[in-house]
A = this chain, B = another copy of it.
Amino acid sequence: MCSASSDLTAQARIRNAAIAHFARDGFQKTNLRAVAATAGVSAGLVIHHFGSKERLRSVCDDHVLRILVQRAGDARPSGMRDLFREYLSNPEEYRLQVQYMLRAIEEDTPAAATFVDTLVEESEEILRAGIADGTMRPSSDVRALAVLSVLHSVATLTMPPALARALGHERFGPDVLRRLALPTLELYTHGLFADDAALKAARAALDESPQDESPQEEE
Contacts and interface: CB of A to CB of B under 8 A. Distances in A.
A214 interface: yes
A55 B197 CA distance: 47
Interface in A98-112: 105-106, 108, 112
Interchain residue pairs A-B with the least CB separation, the first 9: A155-B155, A116-B162, A191-B191, A189-B193, A120-B166, A145-B183, A113-B162, A144-B183, A185-B199
A100 to B, nearest CB: 14
Given A137-B192, A186-B139, A144 B214 contact: no
B116 A195 contact: no
Given A105-B163, A188-B198, A189-B198, 7 more contacts: A112-B162, A135-B195, A148-B180, A175-B213, A179-B213, A179-B214, A189-B191
Interface residues of A, number: 68
Contacts of A183: 139-141, 144-145, 148
A95 interface: no
A181 B200 CA distance: 12
12 contacts: A112-B162, A116-B162, A137-B186, A147-B163, A182-B202, A182-B214, A185-B198, A186-B199, A189-B192, A189-B193, A189-B196, A191-B191
